[in-house]
Each structure stands twice: as C-alpha cells, then as structure tokens.
Amino acid sequence: MSLSQTLFTPSFLSYTSNDLRIPYPRPVLSYPRIQTNRILCAAKRTGKRRYPSERKKLRTEKKEAAAKVKNKLEGVWRLSKLGVPVGDDPGKDSLGISQALLQAIAKVIEFPVASMLPEEAFSVVRKSFDARKILKEAKFVYTVDLDVKTLLELEPRAHDFIFRLEPKLGLVEHLPPEKTVSGDLISVVNECRRINGDAAAGEHEPKVINGNGGGGGGGGGGRSKPRIAVVGGGPSGLFAALVLAEFGADVTLIERGQAVEERGRDIGALVVRKILDMESNFCFGEGGAGTWSDGKLVTRIGKNSATVLAVLKTLVRFGAPDNILVNGKPHLGTDKLVPLLRNFRHYLQSAGVNIKFRTRVDDLLVEDSRVVGVRVSDSADHLQSSTSKDLKFDAVVLAVGHSARDTYEMLLSRNVELTPKDFAVGLRVEHPQELINSIQYSDLASEVRKGRGKVPVADYKVVQYVNDKDEELSQSSSKRSCYSFCMCPGGQVVLTSTNPNELCINGMSFSRRSSKWANAALVVTVSAKDFDLLNLTGPLAGIEFQREFERRAAIMGGGNFTVPVQRVTDFLESKLSETPLPSSSYRLGVKSANLHELFPAHITDSLRQSLSMFEKELPGFISEEALLHGVETRTSSPVRIPRSNETYESTSLEGLYPVGEGAGYAGGIVSAAVDGMFSGFAVAKSFDLFDGTVESVIGKAQGAGLVKY
Ligand SMILES: Cc1cc2nc3c(=O)[nH]c(=O)nc-3n(C[C@H](O)[C@H](O)[C@H](O)COP(=O)(O)OP(=O)(O)OC[C@H]3O[C@@H](n4cnc5c(N)ncnc54)[C@H](O)[C@@H]3O)c2cc1C
C-alpha cells in the first residue's frame, strides 16, 4: 500500500484477500420500491393558465423587446422554433434552407408565397430533432437568422412584411448589427490587442514542428514576457495556453501523457493487450480525458453564448466540422478529435508554446508564499529520481483534470486549500442501440440506419429525484438526484482506470455513432454524508470514496481489467445473471457479478428507484438485453480548489491558477475549455498583457462549478 493510501484509507477498507468485506448492510428488499418526484415534467403554464403575475411580467417583457428595436429594416431577425416535419426535411446532415423551411419562415413573417423568399437571405443558426411522444409528428426544429438587407435587395416586396414584424418572446427577436459577435478565440484576442494598440498583434501560421515547442513567441512588442506554466493538456489547459500565447506570454504546456499519435498506440495496447500505461491512457495525454470520448459538445452553460461560440469556432478553425456551430446536440467523435488536437498543437507551437509531453509535475516550487515554479520528472520514470528537475515560472495554471489524484495529494501537502465537492457514482448501462431507437422513435427507428439515415442515432437523458432510503441520511435530506450521464449512442464502454488495481469505466463513440450499442452512466449524487458513513473525512474524502468502489469493482471483475456486469433485471431482483450474458461493447472482457452488492444499500436502492422511473419515461429501458457495467465513479471532480472569482488565482497560494474540471469549475469538454479561456484572460490581465475587462470581450463566465455536459 502506498503512503497516500495509508494516509487516506481507513484500515477496514484495505484488502488483504480477494474477498469483499462490506461494512454496511446489503440491499435485501426486492424491487420495486418507488417513491419519486419527477423534476423534468414540471408543466409550463401557457395562455389562459398563466397566473396574473406571469401575464403581467410577459406584457412588460414584450414591451421592452419592442422598445429595443430601433430599426426593423436593419440588422438581423432571429426566428426560433421553426418546425419542419421529418418527412419534408432533407434530414439531419443538411444545414441548408429547404423549401419546407422557407414555408415555416413565410408563415412567421406572414409572407404569402414561400417559394419567392430568397434562400440567400437566411442562415440556419441551430437545428435539432424533436421526436417527443407528445408531438403529433416528429420534426426538425430550426433557429434561422433573416438578414434584412439581403432579403430586401433580393425580394423588395418583403419590405412591408418586415416592417410589420414584431418581436415575440422566444420566437422572433431583432438583433441589432452590433449584437452579431465573435469569431474564434484567436481573432477575438487579436482584436483585443489591436484595440490596445499592440502593433505585434496578428495570427500565427501553423506549421509542423517536431519535438518540444517552437520559438519566436506570440508578439508582445519587445516587453519582457511573463513565463507561464500550464499544467495539463486537456481542454482547459489547451484553451488557457492558447489565450496566453496569443497575448504574448512565454507559455510552457506540461503534460504527463503522450501526444495523440503515441497516446493512440498506448490505448491500443490497453484495449488489445491489456497493458495499462499509468501515464498515457483514456484519462491522461494530449487533449485530456475527452480525447477518446464521444466528443459531445453540449453544455449547460448556454449554447448560444458568445463564450461557447468562441470555443466552438476555435474547434472549427482547428478542423472540427462547422455543423457543430448549428447542430442542437453537437458531437465530434474520437476520429474527429484526434486530428483536431494535432492541429491545435501545431498552432500552439507556431505561437511559441513550448510543449513538454511525458512530463509530470510532481511538486510546486514555493518561495515567500508564492509559486515560483514546478518540479517535474519524466512520467515514464516511476521513481522520479533520475529525471527530476526544477523549472522556474512567474505563474502556474493548474489544469490537471479530476483523475490527477497524486497532484491533489501534493497540493494538500503544500497546504493549498482544497474542499470536498459533491459528485455522482453509479454504473454504466448498455442496451442494443436498435432498442433505444425504437423506444425513442417508434416507426421512425428504421430511418436511423446506423448513423447514415435521416434522423440522428437516438439518445436519451433522464433525471429524477428519489427518496433516500438510508435512515441516517434521510433525517437531514431525503432526496437524492439520479440521472443518466454521458450517454454515448452508437458507442462503446471503455476503461478509464489510471491504476491497475482500480477499475472504472466511461463511454466513447466515433463520429458516425454506428456501433450496435448505446451506453450511458446511471448515477446518483454523493456528498460528505456518504463519505462519513465509510469514515472518510478530510478534503480528499471523495477521492477515497471513488477509490474504494473502483477497487471493489476490480475485485468483483476478477482482475485483468475484466468488468463486472449484471443484467438490469437481475440487479433489480438481487440475483447473479446467468450466462450467456447479453453482448457488451467492452473489449477487455466482462464477468457476471453481484453489482447490487457493490455500493452501500442506500445507493443501490436509489439506482433501483431511478431505473424504475426511467422505465416510465422510456418504456422498454428495463430489459433482459440491458447490461449494467461497474463502476462509474469519475463523473466530475470530487474536490474544489477555491480561487478568486475575479483573478482566478488560488485563495491560498499566490501565483497558482486552478482551472477546469480538476479544480471543480467545469464538467465536460466545452465548459472546461470555457474555464480555461477565462483563466487565460485573467492571467493575462494580472501580467498586464491585457487591460480590458474579460466580460467586455467574451461575455460573462457562467455556471462555474457543477456544470455537466
Ligand atoms: C471516456 C470519457 C468520455 C468523455 N466524454 C465526454 C463527452 O462526450 N463530452 C464532454 O463534454 N465531456 C466528456 N468527458 C469529460 C471531459 O473529457 C472532461 O470534462 C474534460 O476533458 C475536462 O477537461 P480538463 O482540461 O479540465 O481536464 P482533463 O481533460 O482531465 O485534462 C487534464 C490533463 O492534465 C494532465 N495532468 C494531470 N496531472 C498532471 C501532472 N501532475 N502533470 C502534468 N500533466 C498532468 C492529464 O494527463 C490530462 O491530460 C469524457 C471523459 C472521459 C474520460
């Protein structure tokens, strides 16, 4: 047992044999024991059912929106919620203006002949697919921008119709010319620098540079450049490095894992030969945890916000297809992420960023209560002795993700303030994709055609609150949130362990989402109260909680990364699944196990309750063909590193800038990238590379912390 394990694992949780010693009662009550509150279906009052106060508020908002329109015949009108029945639409891959869409537009602006509207005057801002059962017919739902100038040039008879157009909340909105903002992040930063009178502002020519970094630097007009270390090459680290390099800082990006090319080979060795490289795997390496993923780019921090658009446009610049700017549920798939990250790296290098792969930060160098550098070693050298060296920096951006458990321990030893954070644990459920297609789409399921058809491969997202069955816990709080998470349609279950004695899983998919399986995490929230029950306390209690169940899962699977599985129906009835089991996408082997004994009874019970609620929303979800895989523990960071809201600097150590998911300020690729971007601006500001306000350039930071994709 390592020193860290000795310090943070209570003795009763350490294993001396392959037997599980479970210090809490096992769930014995049989399914179902439902007592749930639905949170998804809080009906929205409309029309006459609105309260008088709601009607008054609506009237005021309408008046305000009308008053804001200075000139209806200028700028852009944004038309939202335009429905086109699936039969009339060219399908999910078409982002153009079809005749059916022109008809929907004509209806809203009350123009009598749709075919006379010129396509050139319209652009699709968002397109999503809505197949909810409450609809008479499944449809594509569009948001479209109408460019008034182009429309009137090409069809002057539209003049009166535009003149009569009134804003309608959530449906018709007038955007004055100045509100249509933002390019990608590189042009945003360069625009800032030009406004600041920086003569060196300009974009870099990406060029391929082998080895560690380029030279030159990103401008800065001859002033001495602050030396900034960005630790971690996930989305938050990459975006922080990009902003800082564009502002002219001397940036070194330090990543313990490998560049995507070598990382791909390490992941191949893991999947095919069961060899886990503890420093280069599904969690560690270029692009961070999200590289071998589904690449979902959905986020709860406002998909149309300027900040999110700046991130998405930057991804497009580096090779993502531009449909991610329009698609209601954008996703890339790992095959698109890998080349994108290579382009991102080449751009950073051409901007002067020194990239050090296979280099792990083992310690912070602190002088007079301020970080002055980092101690690094070659991450292939497990003893850290021969390769350890000190590197001096003016500031350290810490973007290490939520699996850098050794880094959290190092921070604790350096007295950096860490606070435990709620997260979620559970199991990953896998169904045949065709089953999910038919649950969601009924007859339309035949249109999916393994991702090549007219409608998207079906997904789902379910959220419930369930009653806590543990008496000790329910005295203070009786509800626990249960939800599906990181659903990967047409995907596969993958191993995200970073240590061979621990087993945890997640999901990924390719851009086409064409596998025959659909998987999603099925998780329940856990908090300090749950950690207490296992006698786990202190800032890293959540990490020990994760470790505990990852070890149990490894033991249940019998080792060698074999994943313990159980049919959903057997999990509900507390019985071991008989073979043959339903097929699983997990490549390293599965073994039938009593997953209902893995977690404490109250967590198992919450999972059971939520399954029965999911069945109500998705009839057929509880199926003999549905297979649960253990264990899903790394849903988000179990720790937060407190920092200043303004400067992004740690509140306990000067010169340290904790960012992204590992610091507890993001949950997902896009929110991590957004957090990295904001921290880049904040650090640039602290070193006088930028003197505006971040908000004036990229808008407000939203939803830091518990956001999930
Ligand atoms: C299999 C999988 C699938 C996922 N699918 C999606 C999805 O579809 N959509 C989505 O939005 N999110 C997804 N996520 C979550 C998403 O990947 C993360 O939320 C996101 O990557 C967090 O970004 P980050 O930059 O904060 O941290 P990370 O991406 O975790 O990056 C941290 C980086 O820091 C490096 N590092 C750690 N410690 C050190 C050290 N001491 N020294 C040097 N380097 C260090 C690591 O190697 C890593 O590369 C998925 C995650 C996984 C594991």
Please tell me whether residue 160 adopts helix, strand or coil conformation. Answer: helix
Asked if residue 490 is part of any domain, the answer here is yes
| Number of domains the chain contains | 3
Of 83-87, 342-346, 466-470, 679-683, the poorest mean pLDDT is in 466-470
Contact status, residue 102 vs residue 87, Cβ threshold 8 Å: no
Q: Are residues 622 and 648 in the same domain?
A: no
Q: How confident is the model at residue 384 (pLDDT cuts 50, 70, 90)?
A: low
Q: Are residues 447 and 553 in the same domain?
A: yes
pLDDT digits (tens, 9 = 90+) for 481-518: 899 999 999 999 999 999 999 999 999 999 999 999 99
pLDDT mean over 54-71? 78
Containing structural domain, residue 531 = 3-30+422-632
CATH code: domain of residue 247: 3.50.50.60
Query: 668 to each of 214, 235, 460, 659, how far by Cα in Å?
Result: 30, 9, 17, 13
Asked if residue 196 is part of any domain, the answer here is no
pLDDT score, position 36: 33
Asked if residue 197 is part of any domain, the answer here is no
Residue of the nearest CA to atom 5 in ligand 1? 293
CATH code: domain of residue 95: 3.30.70.2700
pLDDT digits (tens, 9 = 90+) for 449-458: 999 999 999 9
What does the buried/exposed string (b/e) look like for 419-447 if buried means 16 or more CB atoms within 10 Å of the residue's CB? ebbbbbbbbbbbbbbbbbbbbbbeebbeb
Whether residue 230 has its Cβ less than 6 Å from ligand 1: no
Whether the predicted pLDDT of 31 surpasses 70: no
pLDDT score, position 24: 40
Q: Are residues 438 and 469 in the same domain?
A: yes
Asked if residue 433 is part of any domain, the answer here is yes
pLDDT score, position 49: 76
pLDDT mean over 642-656? 96
Mean pLDDT of the chain: 87
Q: Are residues 628 and 579 in the same domain?
A: yes
Last residue of some domain: 632, 664, 686?
632
pLDDT score, position 503: 98
Whether residue 658 has its Cβ less than 6 Å from ligand 1: no
pLDDT mean over 643-665? 97
Q: How confident is the model at residue 478 (pLDDT cuts 50, 70, 90)?
A: low
pLDDT digits (tens, 9 = 90+) for 423-446: 999 999 999 999 999 999 999 999
Asked if residue 40 is part of any domain, the answer here is no
pLDDT score, position 342: 98
Whether the predicted pLDDT of 16 surpasses 60: no
Radius of gyration (C-alpha) of the chain in whole angstroms: 26
Q: Which of 251, 279, 276 is nearest to 384 (CA)?
A: 279
Q: Are residues 646 and 601 in the same domain?
A: no
pLDDT digits (tens, 9 = 90+) for 545-599: 999 999 999 999 999 999 999 999 999 999 999 999 999 999 999 999 999 999 9
pLDDT digits (tens, 9 = 90+) for 319-347: 999 999 999 999 999 999 999 999 999 99
Q: Which helix (H) or strand (E) element contains residue 342?
A: helix 334-350
Q: Are residues 432 and 413 in the same domain?
A: no
Q: Are residues 469 and 538 in the same domain?
A: yes
Q: How confident is the model at residue 285 (pLDDT cuts 50, 70, 90)?
A: very high
Cα(289) to centroid(ligand 1), Å: 3
Pocket test for ligand 1, best of 238, 254, 256 (most atoms within 8 A of CB): 256
Last residue of some domain: 598, 632, 666?
632
Cα(543) to centroid(ligand 1), Å: 16
Whether the predicted pLDDT of 246 surpasses 70: yes
Q: Are residues 66 and 172 in the same domain?
A: yes
Asked if residue 431 is part of any domain, the answer here is yes
Pocket test for ligand 1, best of 284, 341, 361, 706 (most atoms within 8 A of CB): 284
Last residue of some domain: 632, 654, 673?
632
Quote the CA–CA distance of 303 and 299 in Å, as a whole number.
6
Q: How confident is the model at residue 44 (pLDDT cuts 50, 70, 90)?
A: low
Q: How confident is the model at residue 464 (pLDDT cuts 50, 70, 90)?
A: confident
Whether the predicted pLDDT of 239 surpasses 50: yes
Contact status, residue 661 vs residue 690, Cβ threshold 8 Å: no
Q: Which helix (H) or strand (E) element contains residue 239?
A: helix 235-246
Asked if residue 89 is part of any domain, the answer here is yes
Q: Are residues 514 and 659 in the same domain?
A: no
pLDDT mean over 259-288? 97
pLDDT score, position 7: 35
pLDDT score, position 381: 78
Q: Are residues 571 and 433 in the same domain?
A: yes
Q: How confident is the model at residue 1 (pLDDT cuts 50, 70, 90)?
A: very low
Q: Are residues 445 and 399 in the same domain?
A: no
pLDDT mean over 194-215? 58
Q: Are residues 571 and 450 in the same domain?
A: yes
Q: How confident is the model at residue 316 (pLDDT cuts 50, 70, 90)?
A: very high
pLDDT score, position 305: 78
Quote the CA–CA distance of 4 and 268 in Å, as a whole number.
30
Whether the predicted pLDDT of 691 surpasses 80: yes
Tokens coding 200: 């060196």
Asked if residue 194 is part of any domain, the answer here is no
Cα(401) to centroid(ligand 1), Å: 5
Whether residue 233 has its Cβ less than 6 Å from ligand 1: yes
